[in-house]
Amino acid sequence: AQTVTQSQPEMSVQEAETVTLSCTYDTSENNYYLFWYKQPPSRQMILVIRQEAYKQQNATENRFSVNFQKAAKSFSLKISDSQLGDTAMYFCAPYYSQGGSEKLVFGKGTKLTVNP
Amino acid sequence: GAVVSQHPSWVICKSGTSVKIECRSLDFQATTMFWYRQFPKQSLMLMATSNEGSKATYEQGVEKDKFLINHASLTLSTLTVTSAHPEDSSFYICSGGDRGSGELFFGEGSRLTVL
């Protein structure tokens, strides 16, 4: 079974500081995508950042960056200069094929609170 | 960016009735559609994966006869909750994408309440 582990159920950070959310996953595939999604109280899923597994370079998107360690199957998200609007649930999700079927499986999430 | 329109956004029905939730990809062709269920304060649980024109692949423990998924075109996928019961009350979310490009887009979600 493919698993996604987010070991931090809740985290908090002061505004303008940096926080890192961890994620590990398990897949036997070699080519896949990795996503971090944000879910605010509205429950709309918002893409934060995407990483293609065949690319060694870590993805960055403004204040958001990842530390992708393929061999270790680790995909952490770093949020720099945290803002109050970053408060939300954050989910890590690998997107891969398994047995001819595609899957996008989510971790249990990390509830991030940015304090003023 | 691309949009997936999901409706109804909320629905209340009586126990024993069937409810259909639609997801439409408005400006792209969704070769794959994922359907999720989300309980309060929990993560998204993958229910099934559907590909246009073929039968859906259900996750273990998901009743395929209860949660009917149809993906007849590249722009429309539906989830029908048959003979709904109060335990089916939940938040259902769809996500459409293209494995080739790795692009995925989420619907706004549908809150189902079964009385």
Q: How confident is the model at residue B68 (pLDDT cuts 50, 70, 90)?
A: very high
Q: How far apart are CA A30 and CA B97, in angstroms?
A: 20
Q: pLDDT of B36-61, one tens digit each?
A: 999 988 999 999 998 888 889 999 99
Exposure letters A70-84 (e unless 16+ CB within 10 A, then b): eeebebbbbbeebee
Q: Do B43 and A35 touch (CB under 8 A)?
A: no
Beta strands in chain B (DSSP E): 4-7, 10-13, 19-25, 32-38, 44-51, 57-58, 67-73, 76-81, 90-98, 103-106, 110-114
Q: How far apart are CA B95 and CA A93, in angstroms?
A: 13
Q: Do B38 and A43 touch (CB under 8 A)?
A: yes
Overall residue count recorded for chain A in this entry: 116
- Report helix, strand or coil for B87: helix
Residues of B in contact with A107 (CB under 8 A): 43
Q: How far apart are CA B9 and CA A72, in angstroms?
A: 40
Q: pLDDT of A3-21, one tens digit each?
A: 899 999 999 999 999 999 9
From the list B38, B57, B104, the residue facing A104 with the nearest CB is B104
Q: pLDDT of A39-90, one tens digit each?
A: 999 999 999 999 999 998 999 999 999 999 999 999 999 999 999 999 999 9
